[in-house]
A = this chain, B = another copy of it.
Amino acid sequence: MRQKSPWPLQQKIGRMMWGMVEGGVFRFSPHNAYPWRAMLLRMFGARIGRNVRVRRSVHVEIPWNLSIGDHTIVGDHAILYCLGRVTIGNHVTISQYAHLCAGTHETHSREMALLRPPIVVGDDVWIAADAFVGPGVTIGDRTILGARASAFKDLPPDVVAVGNPARAVKAREFQVASSELRVQS
């Protein structure tokens, strides 16, 4: 028999309320209303750093499972499917239509019990357009997950990974100017 709903009542009510907020004043806010959307996410328990730009067409499944560092941008139509915890670092770029999926199922029986392995995205990472990050995956600092790439295993820092499943194909050349470190870190 398929599993009963695994969500306690309080979570269900919270998710229903978030659904109404996301489909209303979040989705239809002005393009540049980044502080407004950050405030809405924080009201529902997300940790959102300074100078974070989340576009209005982004989908956040459960905001209280979401943590975003400073100076990070989440592009149009990105999907933050945070059934489990999703932790995104500082200076991260998540491009349009990218999909971070922190949920899966136990597959040995018809129950298909929900599992919620966390996702961690390091600092200065770029998750490019339409890329996919699977449940339980950690992406190391400064790494690039290329457009349409799909990561199902951890990626080390400082690589460029492409394909489905994603594999590291080269090192990322990256330099943080010392002026930036003084100003922003």
Q: Chain A interface (Cβ within 8 Å of chain B)?
A: 1-2, 16, 19, 31, 71, 73, 79, 81, 91, 93, 96-97, 99, 101, 103-105, 107-110, 112, 124, 126, 128-130, 132, 134, 144, 146-150, 152, 162-165, 172-177, 180, 183-184
Contacts and interface: CB of A to CB of B under 8 A. Distances in A.
A112 B93 contact: yes
A109 B176 contact: yes
15 contacts: A2-B91, A97-B99, A99-B129, A104-B147, A105-B126, A107-B144, A109-B175, A109-B176, A109-B177, A110-B176, A134-B147, A134-B148, A148-B150, A163-B165, A164-B164
Scoring A73, A109, A172 by chain B CB atoms within 10 A of each residue's CB, the highest score goes to A109
B132 A180 contact: no
A59 to B, nearest CB: 9
Contacts of A1: 180, 183-184
Contacts of A129: 81, 99, 101, 103
Given A110-B177, A134-B147, 6 more contacts: A1-B183, A97-B99, A101-B147, A107-B172, A109-B180, A163-B165
